[in-house]
Homo-oligomer: A and B are copies of this chain.
């Protein structure tokens, strides 16, 4: 039945769909990443978000290296069935730069100003 629900979605020509990840408690937008049918299936079956990395061309579970996993609360889609919304409980921070949210660059007087809540030290978290 899950396969049928996944088949109803409109993936793009690379078989990907954007997934908007929001904090289930605060509604804060945490990150946007891409899923393919297999990573969505893993997300549903494990209850942890899985994505497809376009740059690294591989599956990844959010937090597999950092420990900053996302526990899935709900999965929704839009009227065109071409975008997903994933509500999660976020451990630590969603952004690899150390911010809780990836959306920490704000347009002010025509410039991007960096401002957010740093919740971890990326250098200590990600090994090279």
Interface residues of A (CB under 8 A from B): 1-2, 4-5, 8, 18, 20, 22, 26-29, 31-32, 44, 74-81, 83, 85, 95-97, 99, 102-107, 109-112
Contacts and interface: CB of A to CB of B under 8 A. Distances in A.
Per assembly, the copies of the chain total 2
Contact of A103 (B5, B78, B96): B78
B107 A79 contact: no
Contacts of A8: 112
B107 A75 contact: yes
Contacts of A83: 32, 102-103
A70 to B, nearest CB: 16
Q: What are the nearest 4 A-B pairs in CB distance?
A: A27-B27, A1-B110, A78-B102, A2-B110
Nearest to A20: B20
A97 B79 contact: yes
